[in-house]
Amino acid sequence: RDAIHAQAWLFAFLVFGFSGLWPVVKLALMALAWNADGSHLGIEDRERLLRFLDEYGKYSLVDTFLTVLALQSYKIQWESSSEGHDIAVNVVPVPKKAFFSFVAATVLSLIVGHVTTFLHKRAAEVDEGLPGVDDSPTKKACVKPLSRFASSRRLRWQLTAGLSATGAVIFLSALTPSFFVSTSGVFSAIILDP
């Protein structure tokens, strides 16, 4: 919001794209790969989609890196003493729970992506292991959603819950402030109070 009010359109677009839009699109595409059966998303298409998500999914961490960099860049501590007058300015950005929740959700989405890719490879091996008989039970199994290739019902539930929890945390984290700036000193009062 501050970038839009300051008319920093490029910065606002990049923050919205990498922090708001891309994580949600990434999770939606991962959910599609996880739940779509072979008639909606073939093995080759699913492999391309998962490869794309694996290669570009890591860019969800770019805004985390930039936030950590900004937290350290905006930290200002200055003290001066002149003719018996002490003057100090102290500006300290402090991360809030939303920032840490967003980082945890991003890492969780990367883990879920790697497990999904592993299960896709398992499904592709089943598909490639058959000699051209399209009506065999195993070929028909490859038409099933990728979630059916999880080794247990518990793992299937955990991955589905992981996707859902990641989406919820990212959504809630995007709606709350990620950090605040603590200020003290006479100059910070002058600068911040117009």
At 45-101, the pLDDT tens digits run 888 999 999 888 887 787 788 778 877 877 777 777 777 777 777 778 888 888 888
Whole-number average pLDDT of the chain: 76
CA 114-122-154 angle, to 5 degrees, is 70
Mean pLDDT of 181-187: 63
Question: The sheet that has 179-185: what strands, in order across it?
Answer: 76-82, 85-95, 179-185
Question: What percentage of the chain carries pLDDT values higher than 90?
Answer: 1
Ranking 63-72, 77-86, 121-130, 184-193 by mean pLDDT, the lowest is 184-193
Cα–Cα distance measured from residue 169 to residue 146, given in angstroms and rounded to the nearest whole number: 24
Q: Are 27 and 166 in contact (CB under 8 A)?
A: yes
120, 50 contact by CB (below 8 A) = yes
Inform me whether the pLDDT recorded for 137 exceeds 50. Answer: no
Nearby residues of 106 by Cβ (< 8 Å), 6 or more positions away: 23, 60, 61, 64, 170
